[in-house]
Amino acid sequence: MTKPTLDTAWAQAWDILQQAIAEDRSPLRFVTLATVDAQNAPQLRTVVLRDLDARAATLSVFTDARSHKVGELDTNDAVSLHLWAPDQLIQLRLSGQTVITQGEPMRSDWQKVPDHMREAYGHVPSPGTKIDASDAWTVQPNIENFAKITVTLSQFDIVCLSSDGHWRAEFLRKNNWKGDWLSP
């Protein structure tokens, strides 16, 4: 067994994120995003990773500006993201703070979204509204609903439960991404 180093652990985490972004159909792109709601309860949902900036340690996802998660982030900008990479046997837990961009400033991203995908940003009534039947909603795509959640990452918690050995490492922005081993 090759013993991991903090450098290889950090590199592996970024390889997984890069792989998620590079491959359109990679299951790694579907991550779980956690927010905290007004009752202080955790809220989880699947989202698609859209962009990654390794230098800045930021990533982004697209969403509907009217969705509950955006309302939650207006009050509490903290998020966690969870990703399980089965080939590498690695769990990533990423935490950070968010900024929402929506509407007209999203024009260049909106132009790259194919028509059928734009439908995701035009459900009427707005996402999470009670309706009388499963199909009692329509689609009116609108750039005003198109939002990007940009996450400035502050923490990586990386767990590997390989039969070659279990390990866990934490990397914090406030320590200039210097890593520490944690008991797994």
Ligand X SMILES: Cc1cc2nc3c(=O)[nH]c(=O)nc-3n(C[C@H](O)[C@H](O)[C@H](O)COP(=O)(O)O)c2cc1C
Footprint of ligand X on this chain (CB under 6 A)? 30, 43, 45-48, 61-64, 67-69, 127-128
CB nearer ligand X, residue 9 or residue 31:
31
132: Cβ contacts below 8 Å, ≥ 6 apart: none
CB nearer ligand X, residue 148 or residue 158:
148
Sequence letter at residue 138: T
CB nearer ligand X, residue 144 or residue 164:
144
Q: Which contacts qualify for 117-125: CB closer than 8 Å, 24 or more apart?
A: 118/146, 120/62, 120/64, 121/62, 121/64, 121/145, 121/146, 121/147, 123/64
Beta carbon of residue 30, minimum distance to ligand X (angstroms, whole number): 5
Beta carbon of residue 103, minimum distance to ligand X (angstroms, whole number): 16
111: Cβ contacts below 8 Å, ≥ 6 apart: none
Beta carbon of residue 127, minimum distance to ligand X (angstroms, whole number): 5
Beta carbon of residue 169, minimum distance to ligand X (angstroms, whole number): 28
Q: Please give the Cα distance from 121 to 144 (Å, whole number).
A: 9
CB nearer ligand X, residue 120 or residue 159:
120
Beta carbon of residue 132, minimum distance to ligand X (angstroms, whole number): 19
CB nearer ligand X, residue 47 or residue 89:
47
Task: Establish how many alpha carbons lie within 13 A of residue 15's alpha carbon, considering only the half-sphere containing its beta carbon.
Answer: 10
* N-to-C CA span, the chain: 17
Beta carbon of residue 178, minimum distance to ligand X (angstroms, whole number): 32
